Structure 1
Amino acid sequence: MSIELRKSHLIELGKFLNQFRRNGIEQNEDVKNNEEFFEEFKEQIERAIHHNGWFTPDNILFALEGWSDSLNSSNLDKWLKPYNFDAVEPKTVGIIMAGNIPLVGFHDFISVLIAGHKVLVKQSSNDMKLLPILANYLISLDSDYKNKIEFTENRMNDFEAIIATGSNNTSRYFEYYFANKKSIIRKNRNSVAILTGNETTEDLVALGHDIFRYFGLGCRSVSKLYVPEDYDIDAFYKALAPWASLMDHAKYANNYDYNKAVYLMSEFKMLDNGFLVLKEDQNFGSPIATVFYEKYSNLEALKATINNNKENLQCVVANNFMESEIPFGKTQYPQLWDYADNIDTLEFLENI
Structure 2
Amino acid sequence: MGDQQLRIQAFVKLGELFREFCEYDNGKSEKAWDSNSRFEEFDRKLALAEAKNGWFTRENVLFSLKRWTELLNQDSLEGWLAPYDISSNKEKAVAMITAGNIPLVGFHDLMCILLTGNKAQIKLSSNANVLMPFVVDQLLSFETSLEGKVKFTEGKLDDFEAVIATGSNNTARYFEYYFGNQPNIIRKNRNSVAILSGNEEPKQLSDLGEDIFRYYGLGCRSVSKLFVPRNYDFDHFFQGIFQYSDIIDGQKYANNYDYNKAVYLMSEFSILDNGFLMLKEDQGYSSPIATLFYEYYDSSSELEDRLESDKDQLQCVVRDSLHDSDVPFGRTQHPKLDDYADGVDTVEFLLKT
Q: Could you state the TM-score of these two structures normalised by the residue count of structure 2? A: 0.96
Query: Structure 2: where are the runs of 5+ without partners?
Result: none
Counterpart of 1:311 in structure 2 is 312
What secondary structure is seen at the aligned counterpart in 1 of 2:77?
Answer: helix
Is the 2:15–2:68 contact (alpha carbons within 8 Å) kept by the matching residues of 1? yes
Counterpart of 1:8 in structure 2 is 9
Is the 2:7–2:143 contact (alpha carbons within 8 Å) kept by the matching residues of 1? no
What secondary structure is seen at the aligned counterpart in 2 of 1:21?
Answer: helix
Find out whether 1:24 has 2:29 as its counterpart: no
Alpha-carbon distance, 1:161 to partner? 0.4
Is the 1:20–1:61 contact (alpha carbons within 8 Å) kept by the matching residues of 2? no
Alpha-carbon distance, 1:323 to partner? 2.9
Query: Mean alpha-carbon deviation: is it higher for 35-44 or for 109-118?
Result: 35-44
Is the 1:119–1:148 contact (alpha carbons within 8 Å) kept by the matching residues of 2? yes
Deviation per CA, 1:69-92: give whole Å up to 9, x if none. 110111112210110111211000
Counterpart of 1:165 in structure 2 is 166
Counterpart of 2:321 in structure 1 is 320
CA distance in 2, matches of 1:11, 1:25: 23
Q: Which amino acid aligns with 1:10?
A: F
Counterpart of 1:93 in structure 2 is 94
Query: Mean alpha-carbon deviation: is it higher for 8-17 or for 69-78?
Result: 69-78
Deviation per CA, 1:209-246: give whole Å up to 9, x if none. 00000000000000000000011100100111111111
Counterpart of 2:111 in structure 1 is 110
Q: Which amino acid aligns with 1:24?
A: N
CA separation of 1:238 and 1:44: change in aligned 2, threshold 3 A = same
What secondary structure is seen at the aligned counterpart in 2 of 1:94?
Answer: strand
Aligned-residue RMSD, C-alpha: 1.7
Deviation per CA, 1:266-307: give whole Å up to 9, x if none. 111210001100000000000000000000110111011001
CA distance in 2, matches of 1:152, 1:27: 36
CA distance in 2, matches of 1:158, 1:26: 46
Find out whether 1:127 has 2:139 as its counterpart: no
CA distance in 1, matches of 2:336, 2:45: 26
Query: Mean alpha-carbon deviation: is it higher for 20-29 or for 333-342?
Result: 20-29
**Matched length:** 350
Find out whether 1:186 has 2:222 as its counterpart: no
Is the 1:19–1:25 contact (alpha carbons within 8 Å) kept by the matching residues of 2? no
What pairs with 1:37-116 in structure 2 (closer than 5 Å)? 37-116=38-117
Find out whether 1:290 has 2:291 as its counterpart: yes
Counterpart of 1:206 in structure 2 is 207
What pairs with 1:214-253 in structure 2 (closer than 5 Å)? 214-253=215-254
Query: Mean alpha-carbon deviation: is it higher for 164-173 or for 316-325?
Result: 316-325
Is the 2:112–2:347 contact (alpha carbons within 8 Å) kept by the matching residues of 1? yes
Alpha-carbon distance, 1:313 to partner? 0.1
Q: Which amino acid aligns with 2:157?
A: M
Counterpart of 2:277 in structure 1 is 276
Counterpart of 1:349 in structure 2 is 350
Q: Which amino acid aligns with 2:308?
A: N
CA distance in 2, matches of 1:347, 1:76: 15
Q: Which amino acid aligns with 1:339?
A: Y
Deviation per CA, 1:112-161: give whole Å up to 9, x if none. 00000011011111111111111111221222222211110000000000
Query: Mean alpha-carbon deviation: is it higher for 74-83 or for 169-178?
Result: 74-83
Deviation per CA, 1:317-342: give whole Å up to 9, x if none. 01133331100000011111111111
Query: Mean alpha-carbon deviation: is it higher for 114-123 or for 15-24?
Result: 15-24
Q: Which amino acid aligns with 1:244?
A: S
CA separation of 1:349 and 1:36: change in aligned 2, threshold 3 A = farther
Alpha-carbon distance, 1:251 to partner? 0.6
Query: Structure 1: where are the runs of 5+ without partners?
Result: none
CA distance in 2, matches of 1:73, 1:323: 26
Is the 2:118–2:149 contact (alpha carbons within 8 Å) kept by the matching residues of 1? yes
Alpha-carbon distance, 1:28 to partner? 6.7
Is the 2:321–2:327 contact (alpha carbons within 8 Å) kept by the matching residues of 1? no
Counterpart of 1:300 in structure 2 is 301
CA distance in 2, matches of 1:43, 1:147: 25
Counterpart of 1:148 in structure 2 is 149
CA separation of 1:44 and 1:167: change in aligned 2, threshold 3 A = same
Q: Which amino acid aligns with 1:268?
A: F
CA distance in 2, matches of 1:350, 1:202: 42
CA distance in 1, matches of 2:243, 2:298: 30
Is the 2:6–2:143 contact (alpha carbons within 8 Å) kept by the matching residues of 1? no
Q: Post-superposition, which runs of at least 4 consecutive aligned residues in structure 1 deviate over 6 A?
A: none
CA separation of 1:30 and 1:83: change in aligned 2, threshold 3 A = farther
CA separation of 1:95 and 1:26: change in aligned 2, threshold 3 A = farther
% identical equivalent positions = 51
CA separation of 1:30 and 1:78: change in aligned 2, threshold 3 A = farther
